[in-house]
Amino acid sequence: MATRAINFLRRKKIPYTVVTYAHHEKGAKFAAAATGFALAKTVKSLVVELEPDTYCLALMPGDRQLDLKSLARVFKVKRTAMADAATAQRLTGYLVGGISPFGTTQKLPVVMESSIHKFDEVLINAGQRGTMLKMAPRDIVQALGCQAAAIAKKK
C-alpha cells in the first residue's frame, strides 16, 4: 500500500526501499529490533513546538535524545517543547508511531541530527505503523530541503 509519504517521494523521484514489519509497539527501539536494523540507523520523527502555534520536525537517531535547547538555538527561539500526540497527529496527518516527515498535511520545517549523515542508509517511517523506508540521508535532505544540525543530547 502506498502511503502519502511514499507518494510524496515518488513525485519527487527520490529513491527508497520499503521495509515492513509486524508492528506491536511504538518506537524506534521496537522498529529496529523487528527489522534487524541498528537503532542508531533507525530515525525517529519528532514534532516539536517552537513557539505557540509554530512547530517543526526533528529527525533523530533512535539511540539519541533530542536536546531541546540546541533545537531552540537552531530556530533562534527561547524555548521548545515536545508536541502532544494529538497535535503531532493533527499537524502531520499520521498516527504517533507512524509519523513520517514526508507528505505531512501541514508543511513543517525539518532539522536532521547531523550525525545521521555518517550512515550510507537509514530507516525512516513511511507514514504507517509497521512500514519503514530504507534511504540515504542525503536523499532525505533532498526530499525535504531540511538542514542538519547538532541537536542530540551529549552522551
Position 79 in a domain: yes
Position 124 in a domain: yes
Position 154 in a domain: no
Number of compact structural domains in the chain: 1
Domain that holds residue 111: 4-149
Average pLDDT over residues 19-30: 79
The owner of cell 512500514 is 131
Position 52 in a domain: yes
- The answer on pLDDT for 155 being more than 80 is no
CATH number, residue 56: 3.90.960.10
Position 99 in a domain: yes
Position 41 in a domain: yes
Give the model confidence (pLDDT) of 43-101 as tens digits.
999 999 998 889 999 999 999 999 999 999 999 999 899 999 999 999 999 998 889 99
pLDDT attached to residue 14: 96
Give the integer Cα–Cα distance in Å for 38 and 8: 26
Residues facing 45 on adjacent strands: 59
pLDDT band at 32 (very low <50, low <70, confident <90, very high): confident
Position 117 in a domain: yes
